[in-house]
Structure 1
Amino acid sequence: MTLTELRYLVTLAQERHFGRAAERCHVAQPTLSVAVKKLEDSLGLSLFERHRHGVLVTPAAEALIAQAQVVLSEADKFERMADLSRDEFAEPLRLGAIFTVGPYLFPSLVRRMKQEASPLKLYLEENYTHVLDERLARGELDAIIVAMPFEPPETRVTALFDEPFQLLLPRDHAMASKKIIAADVLASSPVLMLGEGHCFRDQVLETCQVGQAPGVSSGSSLMTLRHMVASGLGITLIPASAEQQLSDDELTTRPVKPSPHRRVVLASRHRFSRPGALQELLRLLQSLSLLGTTMVRR
């Protein structure tokens, strides 16, 4: 029994005529007749009563024909699923990013996708580095955007951009009168920090000496730190790509020299099954112009 024989069976039951059924199936009438007879012989049942001007479905065949329609429908669904699998852009790419990248990169990325009418669709998520790493390894995310150092096994890492840190401070702050802030000045200044678990906190502490704001809880996000700076609790360091969204009439930014910075990368599994979709994502990311960053070209 084959799917072709089942298609002949269902079509003949619908047309009640060998000639019309053969025409619909794009075969010669003898071919369809032989196939139906072979199916009847294999089942040991008469499925049709043959008459001079057509055929009738036997009572025994009715349930079988209904089931054959179900089988053919599922087979068609199987083929469609295979077609979708061959189309790397049929399903969304699941992209994660750390909290200090996602809110400032995702809007630009989505705008660029729309401008270029990219076939890529994205499911977006923000989380901590260790959570993104685990979800990538489990196959729950397809690619993640994190900051170096990041080189887990079975993972391909591609550099996206190098990003300096900017000092965010009130416009009436004493240091706002300077065009550049010397890094050693931060050691004696109350610098507000993100809480434990944020990789940006670790990056700041690794790249420069900063003073801790006494009696002040750590912020849960860069936006929270921005509000704390605006309220006069201290100053903070932010990634350059966040400058446009976090500075305003109240707050301004200043570069720090020597400049603390980080490298932001795109990570994916080595054997990811949709390389074309991943390449399109990388192309879009590398085409962005993010304030204060230097894109890494390959």
Structure 2
Amino acid sequence: MIETDAKYVSKYELEDLTGLSRSTISRKVFSLFDVNKEDEHFRRYLVDGKWMRKVDKEFALKLLFSNEKVLMEENQSDIADENSDIAESLNTVFMGQNSPAIADINSAIAENQSDIADVIIPITMGQTSSDIAENSPAIADINSDIAEYKARIEKLELRMDSIIAQNTVLIEKNNTLSSEIVDQNKRFEKFVDQFLETYTQQLTDSHQKNILLFNKSIENNTINRGQTSSDIAEKQSDIADLSSDIADENSDISESSNTFRMKQSMPDIAEKQSDIVDLSSDIADSTIKKKKRFW
């Protein structure tokens, strides 16, 4: 680390000294700085724990104002030549030329002074005041377009937020209906399981009754071979009545199952499914309308 030397200045000090922007100073001066080595023009200093680049002040000023100095020297040379021409013209006038020649000389001097003014006026980026005036309307139009696009983007963001909020509500309703349908299906499955269990038990009981009745019939026919035909007919009537009772029980069970399926659970499920279809349609219509208004 090298001790601080007033001979070297930072870009911030050059900014205060010259009035030029830091970007211009960095481009014209510090872009030449080689971080891998130090020379007589550039130094590095540790300031508040951070390394700061500094440059020889005279060297930096030459870099920043060399072009302007060259232009001024060239212009001064032109002025000297012009003065020489004026002197020759004056000598000619004194020797007998008329006033129009003097007017031409004055016009040339005025043009030359105008050129000098255009060169001397320094603009940071190299533009003249006429260039800035010419570009100002275009810059104003661009800024206006940017402001307009920004306002449109903000409106579109608000619309999209509204659409997302509405769709979120519809999705929550859809989830609620789906949950209700799942619960309804679980209750239906539980009922079917209970019904099948009861129905199976009743069929088993009926089958056992048929077996007992058949065995009893065989037993009666075997033991009571001496019975009259009227006794046999009475037994057969009892068998027919019992079979009819069994058939009625089976019919009642089947009818109960069909009634539950067709009049209770299925309409509830169909109604829930219809609600889901309507809700999905509402979501689609809402999205289409929002897109139409969006464009």
Q: Which category describes the TM-score, using the shorter chain as reference length?
A: under 0.3
What is the TM-score with the length of structure 2 in the denominator? 0.22
Larger Rg: 2
Report which of the two has the higher share of helix. 2
Task: Using CA pairs under 8 Å that are at least 6 residues apart, name the structure with larger relative contact order, 1 or 2.
Answer: 1
State the TM-score, normalizing by the size of structure 1.
0.22
